[in-house]
Structure 1
Amino acid sequence: MAMILNLSSTTPAASAKLTKRMHAVKCELNSRERKLEIGSPIIVIEAPKLLKTASSVPCLRANAGLVNPGDVGRIVSRKPMDVWAVRLSIGTYLIDGKYFKPLQLDDD
C-alpha cells in the first residue's frame, strides 16, 4: 500500500510571508525574589506527600511525619527543575522548591 502526500498551497510562493515568533519562557523566579545557594538555610513551609532520598540509590517513600512545616535544613546541591537536595536533621532528601523558602537569619 503506497501513501501519497500532496502539499499544495492556494497562496503563490512569492506573496507568502514567513514569520518567526519567539516566546520567552521563564522557569525560575527572579534572583531578587529567591536567593538560594549551596549552604543556604531553608525552612519547610509545606510538608511534601512523598520523599525521595538523595543517596546514590534513591528511595521514594510516603512522608509519614518525617518532614513537617517548620523544619529547618541546608541546601546541599541543586538538581534540574527546581529540585534541591536538602540536608535535614533526619537525612538528606530531594525536595521541590515550592515546599520551602529561604530562612532569614538575623546577623547582629
Structure 2
Amino acid sequence: MAELTVGATVRLVSRPPYLKTADPMPMLRPPNLLELGTQGVAITRNPGGTWTVKFERGTYLLDSQYLELVDA
C-alpha cells in the first residue's frame, strides 16, 4: 500500500470502536456515523500514526489502520 500523505483521498475500510472528533474540545461519537467505504481527505498527520480526516459528516481523528488510500 502506498503511504498516506496530507491531501490524499482516503476510504474508511473498518470502523473503530468509537469516533473521536477533531474539534478543539474532542468528543467521542458512535462509529455508525460513518459508513464503511466513506471517502474523506487526510488533513494532517498526528503523532502515533493517527490522521485528521475530513469527511462529509465531520472531521475525525483516525488511526491509519482504519484507512486506505484511494487510487487517483
The answer for the alignment partner of 1:53 in structure 2 is 21
The answer for the alignment partner of 2:57 in structure 1 is 90
CA RMSD of aligned residues (A): 1.0
Identity %: 32
Report the structure number with the largest CA radius of gyration.
1
Structure with more helix by fraction = 2
Shift of 1:60: 1.3
Q: Which runs of 4+ in 1 moved over 6 A?
A: none
2:33 is paired with a residue whose SS is coil
Structure with more strand by fraction = 2
After superposition, the C-alpha distances for 1:45-91 in whole angstroms (9 at most, x for unaligned) are 1122200000111111222x211211000001011111000000101
The answer to whether 1:41 aligns with 2:9 is: yes
The answer to whether 1:72 aligns with 2:48 is: no
After superposition, the C-alpha distances for 1:21-61 in whole angstroms (9 at most, x for unaligned) are xxxxxxxxxxxx43211110001111222000001111112
In structure 1, C-alpha distance between the alignment counterparts of 2:35 and 2:64, rounded to whole Å: 15
Q: How many residues align?
A: 72
Q: Which TM-score applies when normalising by structure 2?
A: 0.91
- Structure 2 unaligned blocks of 5 or more: none
Q: Which TM-score applies when normalising by structure 1?
A: 0.63
